[in-house]
Amino acid sequence: MIKLVYSEEIEIRHHEFLIQNLVPKLTKAKSITFPWKKKSVNVLIEHLKYEGTNLEFKTAFKRQQLSFYSYIESNLERISKGKPSELLKIQEEMSSLFPLIMNILSSREQDATFSDHVYQLFGYEAFKTDTLFNLLKTAAKRRSGRGSRTRFGLKNRHHFRELLCEAFPSRAQEICDALNDDKLPTSKMFEKAFYTIPDIHMTLSNVGKSRIFEYGWSDYALIMVGGVIVCPYCNRQFVTPFLSSDGRIRADFDHFLSKSAYPHFSMSLYNLVPSCKQCNQGLKGGKNLSPVGLHPFEHDMHSYFRFTAMPGTVTSTASIDIEVDDPAISNIEELIDTFKLRPLYGYHNGHAHEIVKKRQMYPDDLLHRLLPESPFSDVEELKSFIVGYVVDESRINEEPLSKLRRDIAIQVGFLPKKIKLDASLMNKLKQVIK
């Protein structure tokens, strides 16, 4: 829920990936007449209320299509690494310059032919990671200073072992023994032996040591290098990646501007929000959220609302509610509702119970008496330890439920914040907890 930030290196690599993969497709597409079917054209003419014949429609389309492709190529850097607000500017420019093209893209429900074509041009479905063996193999060849198509010879195998040993330094001898060139004269035997080594995997903890994602660009490369740990939408789920020979998991990429409505932004870096499967597939899906307002890559979303503990209205337990600081923010309630934060956080009322109890057990006078005997430098540091989890505001993205625990701790006066402590509410909560 803290604003997500990518490095300049990630922006450059993503942009270079699109140059290599999209530009040749655009060049080819310019030289080919788009294969419209008569039925599709008739459907669009009727839906768009186009005043012209079938031939006039296709002629106007072709004229705008070529300019549309040229615009994409000329503005590829903006499209590939522009922030969400920049993408909206591009959308406005495209709508002004290519009204027929953009109307066709927005008519996907009537006919998806051209929308699918644009989506395929950008190649999101091909933005995939190869097998772990092939990743290591490619990285080994690059480290050798040779192209990926060269033979996987002894020098490359040496670098392959080197990459693995860097990722698993304590298992270096085991790796070298299993991948001994003297016992494995062929590449096929070498690959087969690799799969016999148990528990070889890449996670955020060792991927930097092996540096296999320094070469090439893919979905797992972005997730591994980006380092997003917790879902920025809900702060409830880890989205930490894992890649091995016999299993893989990673964060979903939510297209904030849906890939069905905005296929031309389907590979825009800041339109790919790493998120948990519950938020992306289960709750948001293909919904088109308001493009104006809060965005995980442009705002600290957590600062626009806060969790509060309230006496339960149905049962004698504390419940979790959400207070919005500024309802005028155009999409804050939309986001809260889309990701069902109110009902889902109802499962975590035990955290409110725990923090209220701790506040009762550790009044300020007791904390000041405990401080000299503790390893902490001040009372606030001691309070943070007692609350548990990460309570530093800048580290909310590092641990699930950090925002909830921090907000409740502030509410009951455990952590400093310029808010008025509601003594009456605190008394009611204490009675509920008892």
Q: Would you tell me how many other CB atoms lie within 10 Å of the CB of residue 350? A: 10
Q: Report phi then psi at 205, rounded to 5.
A: -80, -25
Q: What integer is the mean pLDDT of 154-180?
A: 94
Q: Report phi then psi at 321, rounded to 5.
A: -125, 170
- DSSP run (H or E) holding 352: helix 349-361
pLDDT classification of 103: cutoffs 50, 70, 90: very high
Q: What integer is the mean pLDDT of 176-205?
A: 94
423-to-17, 309, 351, 408, 413 alpha-carbon distances in Å: 57, 13, 20, 14, 10
Which carries the bigger pLDDT value, residue 204 or residue 380? 204
Question: Are the beta carbons of 430 and 360 closer than 8 angstroms?
Answer: yes
Name the residue type at position 165: C
pLDDT score of 418: 47
pLDDT digits (tens, 9 = 90+) for 129-140: 999 999 999 999
Q: Residue 152 is encoded by which pair of tokens?
A: 């996987």
297-to-76, 233, 368 alpha-carbon distances in Å: 19, 11, 40
pLDDT digits (tens, 9 = 90+) for 210-247: 788 888 899 999 999 999 999 999 999 999 999 998 89
What is the rounded distance in angstroms from the CA atom of residue 324 to the CA atom of residue 72?
39
pLDDT score of 86: 96
Which carries the bigger pLDDT value, residue 132 or residue 428? 132
354-to-387, 403, 426 alpha-carbon distances in Å: 9, 15, 14
pLDDT score of 428: 55
Q: What integer is the mean pLDDT of 54-66?
A: 94
What is the rounded distance in angstroms from the CA atom of residue 199 to the CA atom of residue 167?
12
pLDDT score of 423: 55
What is the rounded distance in angstroms from the CA atom of residue 369 to the CA atom of residue 77?
59
HSE (side-chain half, CA atoms, 13 Å) at 104 = 29
For 388-413, what is the HEC assignment? CCCCCHHHHHHCCCHHHHHHHHHHCC
Task: Detail the DSSP E strand segments found in 24-68.
Answer: none
Q: Residue 89 is encoded by which pair of tokens?
A: 């500017």
What is the rounded distance in angstroms from the CA atom of residue 418 to the CA atom of residue 255?
36
Q: What integer is the mean pLDDT of 9-13?
A: 95
pLDDT score of 432: 52
pLDDT score of 314: 41
Q: Residue 434 is encoded by which pair of tokens?
A: 């008892």
208-to-5, 163, 220, 383 alpha-carbon distances in Å: 18, 11, 13, 34
SS3 category, 322: strand
DSSP letter, residue 263: G
Closest CA to 17 of 208, 257, 215: 215
- DSSP run (H or E) holding 310: strand 305-311
pTM of this structure: 0.87
pLDDT score of 17: 95
SS3 category, 83: coil
Q: What integer is the mean pLDDT of 350-358?
A: 87
Residue 325: pLDDT over 60: yes
pLDDT score of 430: 55
HSE (side-chain half, CA atoms, 13 Å) at 252 = 18
The residues near 431 (Cβ < 8 Å, ≥ 6 apart) are: 311
